[in-house]
Chains A and B, each alone.
Chain A
Amino acid sequence: GENVEQHPSTLSVQEGDSAVIKCTYSDSASNYFPWYKQELGKRPQLIIDIRSNVGEKKDQRIAVTLNKTAKHFSLHITETQPEDSAVYFCAAMRPGNTGKLIFGQGTTLQVKP
């Protein structure tokens, strides 16, 4: 069935360093890949997304890359700050008449000041 694997499960970096989170997906028909940030006890919030017709997208300190051939996509956060500390989820969705997102297991990012 549809599956999204996310690594690492935890990531600790020093403030100012970069953080990279990687996801692989199983459904080659997937064409939409969002990333969500969830702070403790809060709702998931979209931070960036990419569609399959694009290989890379950047928004200030956040970038996402997509390799459709290898079926993996990555989140890159540069110049990390303590407020970046949260759980990050990747997700994938296939085209069709449903908005069903398949989420990865999450990565807990800790940015040490």
Chain B
Amino acid sequence: NAGVMQNPRHLVRRRGQEARLRCSPMKGHSHVYWYRQLPEEGLKFMVYLQKENIIDESGMPKERFSAEFPKEGPSILRIQQVVRGDSAAYFCASSRGNLAGGYTGELFFGEGSRLTVL
């Protein structure tokens, strides 16, 4: 089991460009979460997706950010017209079940994608 795979691990963009981050959940996991971690801070929830559905996007900025988890392929976090404040580590996590629904398993995190905006 390869674990949660994120790519790219490091991404450098200039202001105004687009950043596209990809996440493949662990095999057998259908629940995907994206978190953002600013330098020396905790992780902030962004969005929770299941296949073809956004379940909770309460942590997503209203503009420039979008996420999807298509029927086939990885989950994508897309940031349009990046600004310096978007520089952060973006972590994807997956779980086999719904944590809130009594699932007692683990939320597995990927190694993160570190975005630097110049």
A and B interact: yes
Please report A residues at the B interface, Cβ cutoff 8 Å: 6, 32, 34, 36, 42-46, 49, 51, 89, 93-106
**CA of A104 to CA of B43, assembled, Å:** 8
| A93→B99 contact, CB < 8 A | yes
Residues on B with C-beta less than 8 A from A44 are 43, 91, 109
Given contacts A43-B109, A43-B112, A93-B100, contact A102 B45 (CB under 8 A): yes
Question: Shortest beta-carbon distance, B60 to chain A, in Å?
Answer: 12
Hey, which chain B residues are within 8 Å of A43, CB to CB? Answer: 4, 91, 109-112
Contacting residue for B107 out of A34, A94, A95, A96, CB 8 A? A34
Which secondary structure dominates chain B's binding surface?
mixed
Chain A's nearest CB lies how many Å from the CB of B38?
Answer: 11
> B91–A99 contact, CB under 8 A?
no
B116 → chain A closest CB, angstroms: 14
**Chain B residues closer than 8 Å to A96, beta-carbon distance:** 100
Is the pair B111, A42 in contact by a Cβ cutoff of 8 Å?
yes
Q: Are the CB atoms of B100 and A97 closer together than 8 Å? A: yes
Contacting residues, chain B, for A94 (C-beta < 8 A): 100
Q: How large is the interface on B (under 10, 10 to 19, 20 to 34, 35 or more residues)?
A: 20 to 34
Establish whether residues B111 and A99, one from each chain, have CB atoms under 8 Å apart when the complex forms. Answer: no
A6 CA to B41 CA in the complex, in Å? 12
Task: Name which residue of chain B comes closest to A1, CB basis.
Answer: B58
- Please judge, given known A-B contacts A34-B107, A43-B91, A44-B91, whether A99 and B42 are in contact too, CB under 8 Å: no
Q: 1/0 contact trace for B11-44 toward A, CB 8 Å?
A: 0000000000000000000010101000011111
Please indicate the chain B residues that have their CB under 8 angstroms from the CB of A106 in the complex. Answer: 40-42
Q: Bound state CA distance, A29 and B56, in angstroms?
A: 18
Whether A99 pairs with B107 at a CB distance below 8 angstroms is yes
In the assembled complex, the Cα of A2 lies from the Cα of B91 at a distance in Å of 21
Q: Which residues of A contact B35 (CB under 8 A)?
A: 101, 103
From residue A9, how far is it (CB to closest CB) to chain B in Å? 9
